[in-house]
Structure 1
Amino acid sequence: MNRRDILTQGIVGFCGVGATLLAPEIHQQAELEGDWKVTGEYDEFRIQRISSLHVYLKNEGKNPIIPKFSTIRQGLQTKFYWEIRDGPEKLEPGEESEYRIVAPTPGAAIPYSNQYVLFIQDSISRRQVALEREVQKSAEIWPIRNPEMKKWMVKVSNSQPYPYGWNISLESNGEDQTELEQVEAGAKFSVKRGDKQGPWTMIGLAQKLGSPAKAIKIKMSPSFLAEPEQFPSEACGLEIIDRHRRIWIVLANSESEIIQKNTRGELDYFIKYVPSEINETFTEVVDIKSIYDDMGWDDPNTSRIHIDGNVYSGMSQILHPFVALYPSSEYKQGSMTLESVEPKSSK
């Protein structure tokens, strides 16, 4: 049994009845005339998957071709059609070009440590060629995956949209309402309190930091501002969680920065109120290393991160942009639009 047969069995073997329809597609359909090869595999989306392919194609046939590209991954019967971002629509006989194609969604991107087949098909003649590939595990992990919140998926269990690579965190009680939605700028968090009873109403996104970052840059726009207090009655901004430590960057109604340090139960808080304007986009650089030094905290621990069956060495810190209202807040509702959370070198 040759390598092509092994890979084909691996792809269709997970699919059960009907999956054998894939094998004739690979073996029996007339092939294109020409030269072709994958020249690069990249994670253009920054999601810890191969989301972009560079493909060289030369038309050695007698007729023009209009190429389209699709993939089938190991363990899946679904064929994903990739989008052409660079490269000509048509190749005349004798012409050659390199194409840049991207996955239509994060779910269609190719996980590391995975095998796949790339189909190159001529839309005119329906002739095609199948290229078998194997992606090795990446040695590196992005510090923050999907940092601009541009790539979204939908949870099958509750039809909730969410930015790929992030986990939704929320707390609500009774008639409280929370909402997360995709907007042009990124992600919008909204909360609405149903009454004045119970704990806070909160919605946010969480992601474990993949590698050490001395500083984090966050870009956001609030619909309300916190009043600086010993502990805020409302907040929108960024929380960094590290074991019993909490860093809060809170957008505030103040003329200057205010820093508070306190302990609540077993948790040590560093709270920084940052002067902001309602509905204005604001960028803040959080100097994590300086805060740790100032608080006398030791360095964060390393922690395992599991993605697509691969295990990476990450950090114990969790990034948590959020919006929250406490019962004592004067606001009944509030929101924040988050445009990006990215690592930044600290000078």
Structure 2
Amino acid sequence: MGTEVSKESLSKIRKVALRKVWPQEASDFTPWLEEHLGELGEALGIELEASERESRVGSRSLDIMATDSNGRPVIIENQLERSDDDHLGRLLIYAAGKDADFIIWIARDFEDEHWQVLQWLNQRTGTDTQFFGVAIEVWRIDDSRPAPYFKVVVAPNDWRKRNVSRKPRYREFRQRLEEKLKLEPDLPLLPGSNHNKPWLAIYHVDGLNYSIDFRDRIYFSFQLDTRGAPSLEWCRSSFDRIKEDRDGIEDKLGKLEWIREWQRNRGSAIVSHHTESFSDLTYTWPEVHQWAINRYRLFREVFEPYREELLSSPLSRAAQEQDD
């Protein structure tokens, strides 16, 4: 029998005016959004990384230029009021000027005719060009801190089905990879986490991380991550030190992507790309799992010897002294 809840014990949820949280779009909301693209991307099922704020298109400035995990261009135009014709016109100008694959319009809410325009564009354009309408809301429970919420109100026709149907596959792919990694006694592995996210943080200590991402394009990465590292400056400096040996490292690991400003303020990353995307995988999961295990073993052989040097650097020691 359930526990009876009195009316007095229930909280009250209420909507907060956007302007009370972000008084100005350009100086308040856009910088905040740039730092929270992960939350927007999670709502859309797209991994977003900001590349430029107030990006120029002719005489105008796009709010945020970003890329997805495959490097495809993403434009984001936002407003804190109801959608209007002016922002619709800008959206189309920016989409054409940046040759964007993903076009995201954020507003407080959407006029019916603007909703219809975005739907029509999704019906008329190919799958390489996708339009999204996202309503930004802020909610508060009693006296809690305001909580932003991205509500997707317009998306490509197959987006919801595609986004939902992938989650069980993400989980299964990740769990099978974890099972195989457990059979490799020489490779350390963090305890598994029960989630549907399209990545696996295999091991991370002191800001030196090994991870596989399979949201779409599959890649293995060694990351110098501020979550656990002494500082962002240390991440960038350590990356620069490792990159001095790039030729020798790529002789052992093959062609790599070197990303000094990885996810803006998250640090740096060195990435090895697989030839297939997750959506293309059918019967090749075991092959990709073995590829990831081989990458992990080789990456550890190459990058672990740097650990002691990097963690004893002046920047690392300075951070430790501050903590003390």
Q: TM-score, normalised by structure 1?
A: 0.22
Q: More relative contact order in 1 or in 2 (CA 8 Å, sep 6+)?
A: 1
Q: Which has the higher strand share?
A: 1
The structure with the largest helix share of the pair is 2
TM-score with structure 2 length normalisation? 0.23
